[in-house]
Structure 1
Amino acid sequence: MGPSFWIGLLAGIALLLAVVLWSARRHRSPRLKLDCDAPIRELVPSLSGLTLGTAVPGNALEVLQNGRYFDVLLERIAQARHTVHFETFLWKQGELGRRVADVLAGRARAGVKVRVMLDATGSRQLGKDERCTMEEAGCRLKFFHRRTVYNLGVLTDRDHRKIVVIDGREAFVGGHCVTDDWLGDAEDHRHTADVSVHVRGPVVHSIQAAFSENWAGETGELFVGDEVFPRLEPAGDALVHVAFVKPENSAPAVKILHHAALCLARERIWIQNPYFIPKTEAIQAFAEAVKRGVDVRVLMPSTGGSDNPMVQHAGHRDFEQLLRSGVRLFEYPHTLLHQKVMTIDRCWSAIGSTNFDDRSFDTNDEISLAVLDERLAQQLDAVFEHYVQRATEIDLEKWTRRGAWHKLKDNAAYLLNDVL
């Protein structure tokens, strides 16, 4: 048997392994057809059940934008008495990284149990000094899916969640990352706009459970007791459930949550998302919503405002179809809009780490809070209205006349949308 035989055999084995890995990671997508006339405010138990969660009443949520988020977060961490659980995707060396590391280290030196979970890919630029500061103080620092043979089948699976839980009594969830781009107030192209929420109330237990999932997966450690799961009294009027589970052979909870909500809207769907690449079934759901009289608007960065223009080009591929169906699309050119927010009918909101693309819906570990609270929806809609004033609405006629080079980049980028 000659060299060509062995080369062919190895190539065949490699192809077979690739198919096996693809099949093992594949999720079935839900069919976006809901035969229901009830408003979304009456269907929170259904949405929470479909996404393997439980709707919990009695919560309070405070909206925190841009750099102010870290001012509040670090102040609250500094008051921790028992535990701090910190999980994020992106951490880069810099001023903000030093501030966060110093506060976490300070609590660890004071006897607080500090657990830090960082995605191995997104946080590969964590500063050595920042890491040493935390570890020498006694923080337990772990990395999600390190590049090892053991993790070969899940190397593209990333921990994209942004979670902080303090003493099991309060939590922070949203889109903020630990890089200097998130400082300031989104006042220029170098400073990112983002939205997170400070959560109090019984649903904090569910957010703690989301942190525990990956912590236990990487360390084997389970934590129990009042320091992490204390008795929690009602703190407000918001009804909240948490979507984060990724069951085998089914769509992840965040995908079912976002897609089902599209089918339940009766008045309006307003989306703010940095990476908007809807699949065919979602595009059809948007079109059906418009036919029902729903006001559908999407606000996202332009290619010039994005940190990853290829993602915006991939999204451009289906703009014409969306525009023809009646969806209004807005691009913001001034800086990266990183908030991951969807509001439905002025009363229901989804906010968290989830992008509106296949990577978030099918591959990453994500978290979204689904909230029935008119006040929160109004606040998030106000954020939309603030940024849309300086955005450019895409005109269908002008869009169809965009150049051949632009169209080529759109279609080429879309071929890679699963891995962008």
Structure 2
Amino acid sequence: MKPNLTDTYTCTLPWRTDNTFTLYVDGDQFYPRIFDCIGAATSTVDIEMYLFESGGLSDEVIAILEGVRGRGVAVRLLLDHVGSHGLHHQERQRLTRVGVEIRYFNKLQQRKRLRNLSRDHRKIIVIDSTVAFVGGAGMTDDFSPRHSGADAWHDAMVEIRGPLVHDWGLLFERTWEHYDSIHDEKLRKRLQQALRSEHTPPLRNREVPQGRAVATRGPGNKPIIGSLLSETNKSSRRVLMSTAYFLPSRKLVKALTRAAQRGVDVRLMVPGAKTDHISMLYAGRSWYTPLLQAGVRVYEYQHRFTHLKTALVDDWVTLGSCNFDRWNLQLNLEANLEALDPDLVRQVAGMLEQDLREATEIKLSRWKARSWREKILERFFKWIAGFFINRLPND
């Protein structure tokens, strides 16, 4: 990677053509494919990951990385300091012993105060600069049906080949270079200046298959939700959205309700009772009433935790690490693939339609009849969420 490229901070990268996208749904599909590609690497393996925890899956990953290092492949592992807390010291030693370079994003320090909350939530794997995997899954047993059985979390990863792989490598390179200085005041001023002068490359002819990498760079920078709002506001046929945590901004609620009111098929899917944060479930439910009244169809996915972060708007798709909630958008480093690609759109539409068939639809009449206990829990957790989010840095 050229040094001058790592000194630029634009996170909305150009649209690229001549790419191929393959969607893998659930760990029994994407882990074997990812492991095969890593095992076949000939020069470099770069992994940027939020969740990386010890377990059966980590043993597999580490064994593969030990193998490629034995062939002289350069391996870099960029982990979030909080998200990798569950990776035991012995596993870290196994990696460093064979020459895997490891860096930890934004190490917790008292002097950083609230900026300790900003985490690297991206999931990016780039192999030999020729293939990339992006999506919402981490390297933990939670996502693996082989290790967690029927309770394995539901998520997806996309395999990318073509010119767009370079941009995912560039995103990795930037964070690798600034892994522990991203909250340095001088650097933050450079980031702010770059944001003010940032030029987003225009969308090409929508009839041409294309994709781009879009990322947030931390506090207050939100190009991913900006794209979603823009596409939703001009939607004409459908808006299908699945998110693990639903704590929306007013703008997103307004965009969804207005789309439904003009006759667009708007369907929102969130986790049901099986979730890793019950507080987020109740806080998100506090928005159901205005959405349902406007004609938005709301679904809760019941039989396991859905960790998907995906939206399909007409023939435009966004998929990656970013939940469509204010916490992620305000604080974290996130990265999504945006695409206008008929084949990928078909794959994502098939996945979402299947999920919706397996989910429970929330009807307005039933929702109005819910108990006072449920209403109190919704208001309480919405207040708690708002109390913290309204005090976060947003510059």
Q: Which TM bucket (shorter chain)?
A: 0.7 to 0.9
Q: Aligned runs of 1:86-101 on 2, under 5 Å? A: 86-101=47-62
3-state secondary structure, aligned to 2:18: strand
The match for 2:368 among 400, 403, 407 is 400
Partner of 2:20: 60
The match for 2:306 among 328, 334, 337 is 337
User: What one-letter code is carried by the residue in structure 2 that aligns with 1:127?
Assistant: H
Q: Which deviations, in whole Å up to 9, do the C-alpha atoms of 1:242-261 show, x marking residues without a partner?
A: 1114388x642112122222
User: What one-letter code is carried by the residue in structure 2 that aligns with 1:243?
Assistant: V
Partner of 1:370: 338
Partner of 2:200: none
Q: Which deviations, in whole Å up to 9, do the C-alpha atoms of 1:136-194 show, x marking residues without a partner?
A: 01000111111124543520001000000001111000011111111128996521111
**By how many angstroms is 1:278 displaced?**
1.5
Q: Which deviations, in whole Å up to 9, do the C-alpha atoms of 1:286-341 show, x marking residues without a partner?
A: 11111222100011210x21111111111001100110011000101110111111
The match for 2:354 among 379, 386, 400 is 386
User: What one-letter code is carried by the residue in structure 1 that aligns with 2:298?
Assistant: L
Instruction: Tell me, yes or no, if structure 1 residue 267 matches structure 2 residue 248.
Output: no
Q: Aligned runs of 1:169-188 on 2, under 5 Å? A: 169-184=130-145
CA distance in 2, matches of 1:119, 1:51: 19
Contact 2:316 2:345 in 1 (8 A): yes
Instruction: Tell me, yes or no, if structure 1 residue 242 matches structure 2 residue 213.
Output: yes
Partner of 2:31: 70
CA distance in 1, matches of 2:216, 2:282: 30
Q: Which deviations, in whole Å up to 9, do the C-alpha atoms of 1:260-305 show, x marking residues without a partner?
A: 2211211100011111222211111111111222100011210x21
Partner of 1:413: 381
The match for 2:260 among 286, 290, 300 is 290
CA distance in 2, matches of 1:410, 1:90: 28
Partner of 2:65: 104
Over 3 Å counting, the alpha-carbon distance change for 1:263 and 1:165 in structure 2 is: same
Question: Which ranges of structure 2 fall in alignment gaps of 5 or more residues?
Answer: 1-9, 182-207, 390-395
User: What one-letter code is carried by the residue in structure 2 that aligns with 1:55?
Assistant: W
CA distance in 1, matches of 2:143, 2:160: 20
Q: Aligned runs of 1:112-151 on 2, under 5 Å? A: 112-149=73-110, 151=112
3-state secondary structure, aligned to 1:122: coil
The match for 1:326 among 295, 309, 334 is 295
Partner of 2:325: 357
CA distance in 1, matches of 2:213, 2:15: 8
3-state secondary structure, aligned to 1:380: helix
Partner of 2:222: 252
**By how many angstroms is 1:105 displaced?**
2.1
CA distance in 2, matches of 1:389, 1:52: 34
Q: Indicate the percent of aligned positions where both proteins have the same amino acid.
A: 29
Once superposed, what is the RMSD of the aligned Cα atoms?
2.1
User: What one-letter code is carried by the residue in structure 2 that aligns with 1:397?
Assistant: S
**By how many angstroms is 1:135 displaced?**
0.7
User: What one-letter code is carried by the residue in structure 2 that aligns with 1:337?
Assistant: T
CA distance in 2, matches of 1:326, 1:309: 26
The match for 1:307 among 255, 258, 276 is 276
Partner of 2:44: 83
Contact 1:348 1:372 in 2 (8 A): yes
CA distance in 1, matches of 2:221, 2:231: 15
Partner of 1:202: 163
CA distance in 2, matches of 1:259, 1:317: 21
3-state secondary structure, aligned to 1:417: helix
CA distance in 1, matches of 2:68, 2:258: 51
Contact 2:309 2:319 in 1 (8 A): yes
Partner of 1:24: none
CA distance in 1, matches of 2:364, 2:246: 18
User: What one-letter code is carried by the residue in structure 1 that aligns with 2:300?
Assistant: E
